[in-house]
Amino acid sequence: MEVIFSNEDLAMEILSRLSAKNLLRCKCVSKRWTSLISDPSFVRIHHQRSRCISGLLVQEFKEYGGNFRGDDYFLYASVNGELGIFKLMDESFPQLTSVVMASCDGLICYRSRRTRDVEVLDIVVWNPMTQERLTLRTTDCHVGSIFGLAFYPFGSSAKMIPSFKVVSIQRPKHDQNSYSFVIYSSETGKWKTSLEVCYCKDELHKNKHIYVNGRFYWLTKNQNIITFEVDEELSGVITVPGPKWLDRYVVRLACLGDSDGYLHYVCVDMPELRVWMLTDPCKPIWVLKHHVNIDQFGEESRDHYIHRVRHSPETIGDSFVVDAQNFHDEVVYLSIRGRLCSYDFKTGRLRFFFNGLYLRHMNKVQATVLPYTPTLATIGIPWLKQNSGSASISFASTSFNYLGRPRKKLKTRKT
């Protein structure tokens, strides 16, 4: 082993293919390995190769004036079989008081829940791999309840220092026909209200937004997409492709996603599922990339869930309910009759998650399903390290509590 790793190029080639979790273990082997794994050039190579997601962040909740329901939950659905992430998520996310907002290159953004007594929301940026988290509180600007996260693992300026931005989109206090934007930058440590205003009467979906290649995208309930270019602070409205739906409720049949740095729009137009790619956000130009007949999913679903079809109050007769949840790297994540599954367009494989969990179809707010990708680029970030206490990381496998349980109160540093 030492002979092989005496060749630094060969060592970098081998180690860069390991997961971030395993690389944390490898840093304990020797000082030489620690130095190699911590090298910026190695981190960049590993970041480019670790684009496959580790799992999905799944949350269902209701906010009724602070009355938390017992059937609200947060869980982590493993995609690659790394059970160690289960423990990190299960024990560290304060699910009873928080709502997941976004996930970007290994960082997670969540906010506190709205209650009768709390008017100012806490926004938290969290690194599950190191248990470092930074709590942001807005004191002199008006923000809403929808937040997006943009992480720059190798810097957003000439300094090449890792940084992030959190963007809040909301209606101005005295104007219900437009949207304003408030931005937090880790480089300045401050919030600022953008001068940009986007004129759009549509209502936003609470959890159908994404950050792709320098732009935020929010899906509206009138089949439009509001865009916001972060650096230039420019907004716009894009009309989605495909047929127009008259019923705003069926917006749950659509979702946003990304693949190869392009925005994708997924819609279920029975009996087809279609995936469109936005080739140019400035014009804009949509290209139909995939389409598949959903009826082919029916028999497999019916074999697995015939017991639920007979007893579920959300299924009428033999209706076939399909919700589009997310799309990432040519894989679409759906709920079929309430059960979370994935369909890989590259392989044509349909895969179901779990055995005892079903996403509620009739909820006013659709379940949040976000891809999570742990990367080495998030480890040892200065702006998080300076604002958090020490934290230990355990990768021991554990049984997962699907129903959730009360978490211990976690200490965070305010800024």
The tens-digit pLDDT sequence of the chain (415 residues) is 455 556 667 777 777 777 777 777 777 777 777 777 777 777 777 777 776 788 899 988 776 554 555 567 788 888 876 666 666 777 778 777 789 999 998 899 999 887 666 666 889 999 888 788 888 888 778 888 899 999 988 776 666 778 899 999 999 888 889 999 999 998 888 899 999 999 999 999 988 999 999 999 999 988 899 999 999 999 999 999 987 765 555 555 789 999 999 999 999 877 789 999 999 988 889 999 999 988 777 654 444 443 343 344 344 344 457 888 999 999 999 988 788 889 999 999 988 886 556 776 656 667 899 999 887 777 666 656 555 433 233 333 333 332 333 334 334 444 4
Q: How far apart are CA 17 and CA 175, in angstroms?
A: 51
Q: What DSSP string runs through 286-326?
A: EEEEEEEETHHHHHHHHHHHHHHHHH-TT--TT---EEEEE
Whether the link from the prior residue into 284 is cis, omega within 30° of 0, is yes
Q: How far apart are CA 255 and CA 263, in angstroms?
A: 11
CB-count exposure of residue 78 (10 Å: 0-12, 13-18, 19+): middle
The answer to whether residues 147 and 167 touch, using CB atoms and an 8 Å cutoff, is yes
In this structure, what are the phi and psi dihedrals at residue 389, rounded to the nearest 5 degrees?
Answer: -80, 180
Which DSSP symbol is given to 398?
-
E strands, 68-177, in order: 73-78, 98-104, 107-112, 122-127, 132-137, 146-152, 163-170
Prediction pTM value: 0.81
Q: How far apart are CA 297 and CA 308, in angstroms?
A: 16
In this structure, what are the phi and psi dihedrals at residue 301, rounded to the nearest 5 degrees?
Answer: -65, -40
What does R_g of the chain's alpha carbons equal in angstroms? 22
The answer to whether residues 131 and 391 touch, using CB atoms and an 8 Å cutoff, is yes
Domains of the chain: residue spans and CATH: 8-43 (no CATH), 51-309+316-379 (2.120.10.30)
In this structure, what are the phi and psi dihedrals at residue 155, rounded to the nearest 5 degrees?
Answer: 90, 150
Note the pLDDT tens digit of each residue in 250-292: 555 789 999 999 999 999 877 789 999 999 988 889 999 999 9
